[in-house]
């Protein structure tokens, strides 16, 4: 079967990836081909004597390929941004991260940029990738309810009652895997700039990825609830709402963390 030329168009490629993701999500592990394959034949076929190697041209001296340091490129792109819109455009134009190729959207942020509280999550999931906004799926709905319980809402025009929400990774990792340390390091200059431009009074990190990014530490169950500092700001690590959906008993500790945040803001 030849390659459908539409697949090579960017939107065709994304549609193919989405179809593939969907099949993995519903549990497909193998596929049936049009023509039957007798797998018992394969070793026999593989044992055929190899065809003689064609004569090779003399090897060319190795070419110097200029090395690009993606973290340095990210730093330059982020430093050039003097407004949030600049930063959004810089991220959308940044092509060093492989995750971008499989994502439908660059998920930048949501909420009120004047908010006192900035919530830093991990990475978009399927719903966020589709809508282009952070925390809009089930975990996001729980996050909204959690903060509403202490009087904070992402859409509030009042900075004292508002939230600003963003993620370490602006692109969905395949099958929602954890971002790799190199991917987190590449996004750190953007996260730093994002926080500098919003200039919140307090940062709340959700889950391990933002702790790795801002604090250089993992182990959210140990870190949660303990105020610390990063980038000159108070930071409160909390367990991720997706974890709370899987472990409802942990909501009790999350509530204690929310009360601690509320006390800090008064
Ligand atoms: N989980 C996150 O950390 N961020 C989102 O935007 C959605 C789910």
Query: What residue ranges do the domains of the chain occupy?
Result: 70-265
* pLDDT tens readout for residues 142-195: 999 999 999 999 999 999 999 999 999 999 999 999 999 999 999 999 999 999
Q: What pLDDT score was predicted for residue 5?
A: 54
> Considering Cα of 227, then 229, then 230, then 231, what sign does the dihedral take?
positive
For residue 36, pLDDT over 90 is answered with: no
Write down the pLDDT at residue 1. 45
Q: Ligand 1 centroid vs 124 CA: distance in angstroms?
A: 5
Query: How many Å lie between the centroid of ligand 1 and the Cα of residue 86?
Result: 23
Q: How many residues does the chain have?
A: 266
Strands (E), 186-264: 202-206, 228-230, 233-238
In CATH, the number for domain 70-265 is 3.40.470.10
Q: Average pLDDT of the chain?
A: 89
49 pLDDT band, cuts 50/70/90, is low
> Can you read off the two tokens belonging to residue 75?
């730093």
CB-neighbour burial class of residue 239 (10 A; exposed 0-12, middle 13-18, buried 19+): buried
Task: Please give the distance, rounded to the nearest whole angstrom, from the Cα atom of residue 129 to the centre of ligand 1.
Answer: 10
* CA atoms of 26 and 163, how far apart (whole Å): 35
Cα 149 to ligand 1 centre (Å): 19
**pLDDT number for residue 166:** 98
Average pLDDT over residues 231-260: 98
The atom number, within ligand 1, closest to the CA of 241 reads 1
Segment 57-97, tens digit of pLDDT: 777 777 777 788 999 999 999 999 999 999 999 999 999 99
Q: Report the DSSP pairing between strands 228-230 and 163-167.
A: unpaired
Q: How far is the CA of 143 from the centre of ligand 1 (A)?
A: 10
**Residues enclosing ligand 1, CB less than 6 A?**
121-125, 128, 134-135, 139-140, 167, 206, 242
What pLDDT is recorded for position 80? 93
Please tell me which residue, 61 or 204, carries the higher pLDDT value: 204
Testing ligand 1's pocket by substitution, the residue of 99, 143, 240 carrying the most ligand atoms inside 8 A of its CB is: 240
Q: Which pLDDT value is given to residue 10?
A: 55
Quote the pLDDT of residue 57. Answer: 73
């Amino acid at each position: 079967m030849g390659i459908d030329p539409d697949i090579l168009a960017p939107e065709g490629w994304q549609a193919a990836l989405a179809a593939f993701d969907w099949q993995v999500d519903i549990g497909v592990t193998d596929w049936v081909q049009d023509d039957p394959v007798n797998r018992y034949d394969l070793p026999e076929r593989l044992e055929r004597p190899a065809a003689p190697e064609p004569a090779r041209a003399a090897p060319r001296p190795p070419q110097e390929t200029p090395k690009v340091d993606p973290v340095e490129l990210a730093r330059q792109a982020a430093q050039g941004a003097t407004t949030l819109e600049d930063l959004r455009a810089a991220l959308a134009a940044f092509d060093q991260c492989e995750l971008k190729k499989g994502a439908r959207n660059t998920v930048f942020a949501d909420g009120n940029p004047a908010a006192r509280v900035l919530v830093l999550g991990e990475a978009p999931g399927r719903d966020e990738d589709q809508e282009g906004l952070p925390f809009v799926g089930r975990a996001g709905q729980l996050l909204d309810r959690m903060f509403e319980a202490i009087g904070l809402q992402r859409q509030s025009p009042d900075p004292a009652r508002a939230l600003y929400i963003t993620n370490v990774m602006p692109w969905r990792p395949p099958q929602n895997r954890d971002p790799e340390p190199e991917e987190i390091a590449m996004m750190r200059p953007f996260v730093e700039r994002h926080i500098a431009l919003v200039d919140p009074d307090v940062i709340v990190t959700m889950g391990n990825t933002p702790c790795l990014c801002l604090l250089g530490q993992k182990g959210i169950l140990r870190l949660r609830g303990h105020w610390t500092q990063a980038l000159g700001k108070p930071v409160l690590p909390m367990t991720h709402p997706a974890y709370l959906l899987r472990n409802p008993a942990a909501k009790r500790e999350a509530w204690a963390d929310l009360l601690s945040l509320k006390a800090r803001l008064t």
